[in-house]
Amino acid sequence: MRKKIYIHDVSLRDGSHAISHKLDKAQIIAYCQAAEAAGVPSVEVGHGNGLGASSIQIGLSRLEDVEMLSIARENLIKTKLAIHVMPGFATINKDLKRAFDIGVDLVREACHCTEADITERHIAFARERGKEVIGALMMTHMASKEILLEEALKMQSYGAEGVVLYDSAGAYLPHDVNEKISFLVANLNIPVGFHAHNNLGMAIANSLTAVESGARIIDGAIRGFGAGAGNAQLEVLVAVLQKMEYETGISLYKILDAAELAQDKILEEIPSIKNLSIISGLSGVFSGFAKHVSRLAKEYELDPRDIFIELGKRKVVAGQEDLIVEVAIDLKKINSTNNSKANG
Amino acid sequence: MDKKQIGFLKKDCADAASWSLRLLDELKNQKLLIAGGTGFMGSWIAEFIAFLNDNHQFNTSVVILSRNTDSFKDEKKHLATRSDIQFISRDIRNINELPPDISYIIHAAASPDNRNHVSNPIETIATITKGTDNLIDSAFKLLNLKKILYLSSGQVYGKNPIQKELISESDFGSFDCNKITAIYPEAKRLAEATCCAYSSQYKIPIVIARPFSFIGPYQSLSKPWAINNFINDALNNKTIRIIGNGEPIRSYMYPADLVVWILKILISGKINTAYNIGSPFGISLKDVAEKIVHIAQTNVNIDIKFNNNDSSHYVPNITLCENDLGLKINYDVEDTIRRSIAWFKLLPEASILE
User: Which DSSP category does B26 fall into?
Assistant: G
Q: Mutual orientation of helices B3-20 and B255-268 as an angle, nearest 10°?
A: 50
Residues of B in contact with A216 (CB under 8 A): 307
Are B118 and A132 a contacting pair at CB < 8 A?
no
Is the ipTM here above 0.90? no
- CATH dotted code for A6-265: 3.20.20.70
Residues of B in contact with A191 (CB under 8 A): 305, 307
Distance CA A43, CA A163 (A): 17
Across the beta sheet with B31-35, what order do the strands follow?
B85-89, B61-66, B31-35, B104-107, B147-151, B206-211, B274-277
b/e per residue, B230-240, with b = 16+ CB within 10 A? bbbbbbbebeb
Say whether B161 sits in a helix, a strand or coil: coil
Residue B78 · residue B47 · CB < 8 Å = no
Distance CA B336, CA B354 (A): 22
Number of H helices, E strands in chain B: 13, 12
Are B307 and A129 a contacting pair at CB < 8 A?
no
pTM summary value: 0.82
List residues in chain A touching B: CB distance below 8 A. Answer: 117, 120, 124, 127-130, 132, 150, 153-154, 157-159, 161-162, 189-191, 216
Residues of B in contact with A189 (CB under 8 A): 243-244, 307-308, 310
Mean pLDDT of chain B: 93
pLDDT at A30 over 80: yes
Q: Which CATH architecture has domain A275-343?
A: Orthogonal Bundle (1.10)
Nearest to A132 among B119, B241, B354 (CB): B241
Q: What is the pLDDT of residues A307-340, one digit of tens each?
A: 999 999 998 887 788 899 999 999 999 888 887 7
Residues of B in contact with A150 (CB under 8 A): 179-180
Residue A213 · residue A193 · CB < 8 Å = no
CA-closest candidate to residue A319, choices A59, A42, A4: A59
Distance CA A75, CA A31 (A): 9
Q: Give the domain ranges of chain A.
A: 6-265, 275-343
Beta carbons within 8 Å of B340's beta carbon, 6+ residues apart: B215, B216, B217, B219, B231, B254
Q: What is the pLDDT of residues B253-302, one digit of tens each?
A: 999 999 999 999 999 999 999 999 999 999 999 999 999 999 999 999 99
Beta carbons within 8 Å of A336's beta carbon, 6+ residues apart: none
pLDDT at A117 over 60: yes
Residue B215 · residue B228 · CB < 8 Å = yes
Q: What is the mean pLDDT of residues B330-335?
A: 96
Nearest to A161 among B232, B238, B241 (CB): B241
pLDDT of residue A2: 64
Are A128 and B243 a contacting pair at CB < 8 A?
no
Question: Same topology for domains A6-265 and A275-343, yes or no?
Answer: no
pLDDT at B350 over 80: no
